[in-house]
A and B are shown apart, each in its own frame.
Chain A
Amino acid sequence: MTPFTYARATGPADAIRMGQGDGAKYLGGGTNLVDLMRETIEHPATLVDVTGLSTAIEPLDGGGLRIGAAASNTSLAAHPQVREAYPVLARAILAGASGQIRNMATVGGNILQRTRCTYFYDDAARCNKRAPGAGCDAIDGFNRIHAILGASPACVATHPSDMCVALAALDATVRLDGPEGARELPLAALHRLPGARPDVETELRPGELIVAVDLPALPFAARSTYRKVRDRASYAFALVSVAAALDLEGNIVRDVRLALGGVAHKPWRAEAAEAALRGKPATAENFRAAAEAELSAAVGLRDNAFKIELARRTIVAVLGELAEVQA
C-alpha cells in the first residue's frame, strides 16, 4: 500500500474542500477501496474519511426516502420502510457480501465499488481499466463472470453491486455535491458503459461526492423482489441477478421495473423488457418475450454465453413469482 494522508470530514463542505486535488479519494467503509489499495491498484495520496457524514434514512416530502450516503448497507436493508415499501432493495443488499461487510460498507461506497474482473485485479495482466490502452486479457481469457450486454472491445467487466441493481430498478436519484456545486443524477445514469474509456467508470466530476440517494415513491414496489444466481449458496458475486417490481391491474401489467446485475459494466435497467410488457397480460409467454426483447442484443464470450439464457430464465421466473404465474 502506497503511503497516504488521512483526514476525517465533519460535513459535506469539509469533505469536498479536502477532497479536491489530485489523488484524493473519499473513504467509506473501506471494504473495496482498502482492498484495492492493498492490491496496489488504487494509490490515493489522500483519504478523506466520509463515514462521519449523514447516515440518516428519512422520508421525503411527497413520499419516498432520502438515504444518507454514509448509511451502512445493513441499516438500509433493515430499515422498516425499506423492508415494507422497497423489498427489492432490502433483498438486493442482503444478497450481497457478508454480514460483516454489509455492516461496514456505506451506501455511497457500494455504488462506487469497482469490478471483480480478475484481470483488473492482477497487475501482471493487461487491463484497459487499470492502464488505458494496455489491452484486455479478459476478452479471450477467463470471462465466465463477465458482461453480455453493453461491453466494448476495450472492456468486458461487470459492475459487482447488488444494491445498485435494485436502485436502478427503483429510479433512484443520486445527490451529488462538489467543487462546482450540488446536482442530481439518476442512478441509472451514474455508471458508464466502457466504450473506449473503461477507466472512466462514472459520470462523477473530479472531487464530486455522493451525499445521498433519493428513492422516489413507488407504491407498486411493495410487490418487488430480487433474485441472485451465483456459484455458491451465499457469499459470492452474482452471475446474473434480477431486480423487479410489478404493478398488476387484474392480469394486466400496468407498470413494471426490471434491472439486471452481473451482466454489464453498470447496473442494467431493462427498459426494452419493461416496454415490451407494459399493457400486456402477465403470462409466462409475455415474460419470455420481454426477456428476449432485452437480451436479443446480448453477446456471449468464451465462458459466459450461458448468462444469456440464464438471464432470460431468471427474468421469467422472477416476474412469474411476482405475478404468481407458473412459468
Chain B
Amino acid sequence: MRFIVNGASMEAQVDLRTSLLDLLRDHLGLTGSKKGCNQGACGACTVLVDGTRINSCLALAVQYQNREIVTVEGLAEGAALHPLQAAFVEHDGFQCGYCTPGQLCSAIGMADEIARGVPSIVTADLSAETIPLDHDELRERMSGNLCRCGAYNGIVAAIAETFAKEPA
C-alpha cells in the first residue's frame, strides 16, 4: 500500500486491521502521533488528512491510501517550529507532552474549519459568514482533545495568539 505522509510517498505492507495510527507509529517510524485510548475518545492520535483533522486510531490504514497525511512531524519547516508549536512552548500549552501532537494537529485543522465557516454548537448565529475565534469557540472545538495534565488554558492561549496573528 502507498501512503503520502508529510509530503513523502511511502510504501508499507500492513495487515488490513492496522489503523492509520499504528501504521504511522509501528510501520513508518513516525511515533509523534500518540495512542491514548484507541477508541476515538481522547484525540491524542489526531492527524490531518487532506487538511482535515481526524482520529487516526479509528481509521483503518487501508482506507487512507494515496491521501495527503500530515502528522506532527510534518508541521515544522526544518529547524523552524510552526508558529503554533512555538506558541505552545511559550504559553506552556502542555506538561507531559503526550497529548500535544494531537492538540497541535487538531488546532490546525480547527483553524481551517473556522476559516471555512464551519459552525460549532456554541456558534450563536448559524448563518453568520465569519465566526469569531473567541474563547468559547476555541474551547468547544478543541474538546475532542483531552489533556489530563490540565494545560487547557495554555493551549487555548497559544491557539488564540497564533491564529489571531495570522488568520488561517
Partners in one complex: yes
User: Size band of the B side of the interface?
Assistant: 35 or more
Can you report 30 residue pairs joining A to B where beta carbons are below 8 Å apart? A3-B17, A5-B16, A27-B63, A29-B58, A30-B60, A34-B59, A35-B40, A37-B17, A47-B16, A77-B118, A78-B116, A78-B118, A78-B119, A83-B126, A91-B121, A94-B120, A94-B123, A95-B121, A98-B40, A98-B145, A99-B109, A99-B120, A100-B54, A100-B55, A101-B40, A101-B55, A101-B144, A234-B139, A235-B143, A235-B144
From B16, B53, B58, B140, A30 is in contact (CB under 8 Å) with: B58
The 4 closest A-B pairs by CB, nearest first: A98-B144, A234-B143, A83-B126, A94-B121
Q: How far is the CB of A239 from chain B (nearest CB, A)?
A: 16
B130 to chain A, nearest CB (A): 14
B142 contacts across to A, CB distance below 8 A: 99
**Quick check: is B95 within 8 A (CB to CB) of the other chain?**
no
B residues contacting A by CB (< 8 A) are: 15-17, 19, 38-40, 43, 46, 52-55, 58-60, 62-63, 106, 109-110, 113, 116-121, 123, 126-127, 139-145
Whole-angstrom CA separation of A100 from B15 in the bound complex: 24
Contact A104 B54 (CB under 8 A): yes
Assess whether B113 is in contact with A74, with CB atoms less than 8 Å apart.
yes
Q: How far is the CA of A49 from the CA of B16 in the complex (A)?
A: 12
Chain A residues within 8 Å of B, Cβ to Cβ: 1, 3-6, 8, 27, 29-31, 34-35, 37-38, 47, 49, 51, 74, 77-78, 80, 83-84, 87, 90-91, 94-95, 97-101, 103-104, 228, 232-235
Tell me whether A103 and B54 are in contact (CB under 8 A).
Answer: yes
Closest to A228 in B: B121
Give Cα distance in the complex from A100 to B120, angstroms.
Answer: 12
User: How many Å from the CB of B44 to the closest CB on chain A?
Assistant: 11
Query: Do A34 and B43 form a contact, CB below 8 Å, given A6-B16, A94-B119?
Result: no
